Chain A
């Protein structure tokens, strides 16, 4: 049988299969009686696929892709807008910060000036007080000194009179006063 030889060579030889197939009535591909059937159903299948694609799938997928492209473009634009907004916000923030800083500097300067003014006033007042007190004290010191000199003269006169009397003399008030006054002065 042809089959016996085929068993050996068939693995490699496609021609062999064709020959064997030919024994059984040729390749099914060349069986023309199946052609009308195949062509009829093929055209039906292609028609069905075409109808599905043309009327449903292609418009739908084109729509999906367009939507997606639109969404992506829109999102990118929105992102750009947000970026600009963020930049504006950053500028506004920086400006506010600088303003606040300037304001703070101003307030500090004003406060410092006010404090300085108060301080100056207080210092001046204190100085005036001190000066007044010093003057007062000087007056008092002068009085005390004057009082002391007077007392010294009286004590000296009395002492001199007592000494003169004790020595057995007779105190001449006029002479004693003159002598004491001379001594105290000198």
Chain B
């Protein structure tokens, strides 16, 4: 099988994640930040879809909502309730920011499931900026609201006194790891799922090359379908996880201390 596969099978699991200019298809250089790329295109499609759902879909302001307005209200209610439940009523001031991130991630994840599409959230640059934004914003907020009392977050007053310095070190480390795990979780999930589908997809045309394909091709197709279903779940769950973690961090900033 190995020699047969070697003749025709080509693996490019990282191909869908490549970024290139929309004009010439060439990779962009570091100073060309204003050049629209495929990443730009799919972010723009996401913005347009969000506008269609949240703005155009609610144009009629129907008392009894239609299908699209129902979805818009559902999304609003979902995130609004999450912020209120996790961060508390005073967290609702920051609801627009959290809702913005939720919708961006959700639409990016789902649009990325369209074949040949690009997934902005599979890139650590994108998730990293958002996670850092949350981290810096929440930390600044904590100090602005509580001053030095915000440091109580690291001082576990419920623990026995001798343990507290050790716990404080652990708490500080875990606090600074937050943006890392926050961003890599999302980008990693999106990348891994797409890459695995890509690998299975590479196995799918084996039937054109070899007799072994009679077994391999149906299995590969089945695996793609299964992975795709899983990815649909992951697309939502990761948007949800990113959002709820943001709410948790916000809660820590608004109500520090254990």
Contacts and interface: CB of A to CB of B under 8 A. Distances in A.
A53 interface: yes
Name the residue in B14, B18, B62 with the highest tally of chain A Cβ atoms < 10 Å from its Cβ.
Answer: B14
B11 A57 contact: no
A17 B11 contact: yes
A103 interface: no
A5 B6 CA distance: 8
Interface in B163-190: 187
Contacts of B205: none
Interface stretch (A8-16, A116-124, A138-146, A152-160): A8-16
B125 A57 contact: no
B31 interface: yes
Contacts of A28: 14, 17-19, 123
B1 to A, nearest CB: 7
Interface stretch (B42-50, B143-151, B152-160): B42-50
Interface stretch (B95-103, B228-236, B246-254): B95-103
A72 to B, nearest CB: 10
Contacts of B214: none
B123 A38 contact: yes
Interface string A43-72: 111101110111011101111110110010
Contacts of B72: 57, 61
Contact of A4 (B5, B29, B100, B104): B5
B137 interface: no
Given A11-B199, A60-B61, A61-B73, A53 B54 contact: yes
A8 B104 contact: no
Contact of A49 (B2, B6, B103, B129): B103
B95 to A, nearest CB: 8
B142 interface: no
A4 B5 CA distance: 7
Nearest to A17: B13
Contact of A3 (B9, B19, B130): B9
A49 B100 contact: yes
A30 B124 contact: yes
Contacts of A20: 11, 13-14
Interface of B: 1-3, 5-6, 9-11, 13-14, 17-19, 27-37, 39-40, 43-44, 46-47, 50-51, 54-55, 58, 61-63, 65, 69, 72-73, 76-77, 95-97, 99-101, 103-104, 120, 122-126, 129-130, 187, 191-192, 195-196, 199-200, 202-203
Interface size band for A: 35 or more
Contact of B39 (A21, A38, A53, A71): A38
A61 B58 contact: yes
Contact of B43 (A4, A35, A45, A65): A45
A139 to B, nearest CB: 102
Nearest to B41: A41
A172 interface: no
Contacts of B124: 29-30
Given A33-B27, A35-B125, A38-B19, A45 B104 contact: yes
B11 A10 contact: yes
A45 B133 CA distance: 15
A27 B6 CA distance: 23
